[in-house]
Homo-oligomer: A and B are copies of this chain.
């Protein structure tokens, strides 16, 4: 098994050459005061060292050890506490955080690269900083000044970690029916009582305190999603001087035995009149959660991407080393008993498919991060509003498409290893098991598709979709004279037209058939994702083409060949997806429950 190496060269290519992120940063004053190209590059370099040198080596053994629960306490696998200390000392928990409270204020375009490295190196571990960053975002956006001052600095530093407590045994997707209750006290605090499940890193031994953001219902709250409030509930109460006080009445009842991310603790959390404080307004807890959702959902997409990159690295190395059978074009290494399997067309199909998803996916995650940066930091209202629309539209695609293709990629990477791919010590099967959860949590990919198709595309009557279509159309138009891009622009335009047609058709169908949205949703998100990645590959080709001539490293010429592979072999899937969607939803709505 190859050890994971942070793919810095490819990340720099995407950041600097495909997207020219430094120019974007310079154009956003609030970003420019925190980062310049040299700082950004130094951060990348250091992130590469820590993820490659500290987190990756723990990944395999931690999967075997798992977390241990004993009487409410959770013990993490060997090395996790030390690694957490390293991450904390480096300030990585607060990389994208608000500088007013100790965050580093780095743009998401840069933070996304760090996240990919961390998740690719060790997803179980990576969930801890990820959840903390998510909790910080919600708190920063909706908490009172007092709460922010009291909690954010220690969370950004990582001395305290964060957890998000949403799901209950009977309420997952449907948070409107949660039962956890919050009873107001005279001092402005609340007593929170109820049971939450699937709470990632809800309890552990790496941080001094754990700050839970808990969804609960106030007495007499309206029924359904409009009666949910958000509360901050710390594991240890915090004194006014910032020191830790008594233990709050909450406890981890057990941890789950899972398929993957075994080195992370997935907790049942019991709140028994635990003291909490309201974050944001009463009954507006769901809206407060959704503030951080766009970041978290992109973060989960990036987990899929990280696992896929890790799998590709190992598969590529194995394919170059493992010798087995001869090339169809005759022996390539006649001095050996057989040729390395990378000579075989089908092994190349597997590796090129992986490369297509990983590198196209990285460009896409950076593209979405760019819109997040503009939405957050642009000073012009119009520009910010436009970017917010893009973020709203693209976030479900990033979450679901990057994780769906992430799983595909790790499964292919496992297949490259043949029988060895099934054996735990080689590590490829762990990537499949770890990656699998990314399609499920933070809103299942089916829910992402409903969000895209229903709330975003149909909900805006196509207006949000148009933002993206116009961006693609402008790229095609602007490059129509470029010889190097000629092979890509025509199929790109055709797939954009296909996506636009289908979008329009579903908007029309949904008018008198609300089930049409759900019937189209998952295939539509796939169609959108494949089209968006084609756009990314055209952008990659544009950046690589001028440097390909005379390139002896294979880096730039490889990008052009991978772009061609993507257009030849992966983009055609859009044809089938469009055809399926066009057939409408009757085929799935007609059967009764007994007929299924």
Contacts and interface: CB of A to CB of B under 8 A. Distances in A.
Contact of A345 (B569, B576, B588): B588
A340 B596 CA distance: 14
Contact of A587 (B351, B450, B569, B595): B569
A13 to B, nearest CB: 14
Contact of A575 (B316, B345, B579): B579
Contacts of A351: 596
A296 to B, nearest CB: 16
B558 A583 contact: no
Interface stretch (A31-39, A75-83, A167-175, A272-280): A167-175
A564 B576 contact: no
Contact of A348 (B345, B407, B591): B591
A558 B595 contact: yes
A258 B587 contact: no
A422 interface: yes
A325 to B, nearest CB: 5
User: Copy number of this protein in the oligomer?
Assistant: 2
Given A352-B596, A446-B415, A596-B342, A423 B519 contact: no
Nearest to A354: B596
A521 interface: yes
Interface string A227-250: 000000000000000000000000
A107 B520 CA distance: 44
B595 A561 contact: yes
A568 B595 contact: no
A278 B591 CA distance: 57
A328 B257 contact: no
A550 B562 CA distance: 56
Residue from the set A344, A411, A557 with the largest chain B CB neighbour count within 10 Å = A344
Q: Which of A338, A355, A588 has the most CB of B within 10 A?
A: A588
Contacts of A323: 170
Interface string A568-596: 11101111110110011101111111111
A574 B197 CA distance: 42
Given A415-B446, A561-B587, A325 B595 contact: no
Interface stretch (A210-218, A375-383, A429-437): A429-437
Given A259-B424, A596-B352, A564 B587 contact: yes
A419 interface: yes
A345 B585 contact: yes
Nearest to A450: B346
Given A258-B424, A423-B258, A346 B518 contact: yes
A440 B413 CA distance: 12
A511 interface: no
A185 interface: no
A415 B432 contact: no
A117 interface: no
B572 A573 contact: no
Interface string A150-189: 0000000000000000010011111011000000000000
B593 A172 contact: no
Interface in A253-295: 256-260
B518 A595 contact: no
A483 interface: no
A581 to B, nearest CB: 9
Contacts of A596: 316, 342, 348, 351-352, 355, 558
A331 interface: no
Contact of A444 (B415, B439, B576): B415
Interface in A502-524: 514-515, 517-519, 521-523
Nearest to A592: B554
Contacts of A461: none
Interface hub of A177, A418, A565 (most chain B Cβ within 10 A): A418
Contacts of A258: 422-424, 429
A198 B419 contact: yes
Interface in A309-351: 316, 320, 323-325, 328-329, 337-338, 340, 342, 344-351
A325 B451 CA distance: 14
A425 interface: yes
Given A349-B522, A415-B439, A583-B568, A342 B593 contact: yes
A441 interface: yes
B418 A591 contact: no
B329 A515 contact: yes
A422 B256 CA distance: 9
A449 B475 CA distance: 39
Nearest to A552: B594
A225 to B, nearest CB: 10
20 contacts: A170-B337, A172-B324, A173-B324, A174-B338, A256-B424, A258-B422, A259-B423, A259-B432, A328-B514, A345-B521, A348-B596, A349-B588, A352-B591, A415-B445, A523-B569, A564-B590, A569-B583, A569-B588, A573-B576, A575-B576
Given A415-B444, A432-B436, A554-B595, 19 more contacts: A172-B419, A257-B423, A259-B429, A260-B422, A345-B515, A345-B518, A346-B450, A349-B519, A349-B522, A351-B596, A407-B411, A415-B445, A421-B440, A433-B433, A568-B580, A569-B583, A572-B583, A574-B576, A576-B576
In the complex, the 8 A-B pairs of residues with the closest C-beta atoms, listed nearest first: A345-B518, A558-B595, A554-B594, A259-B429, A576-B576, A572-B579, A568-B583, A328-B514
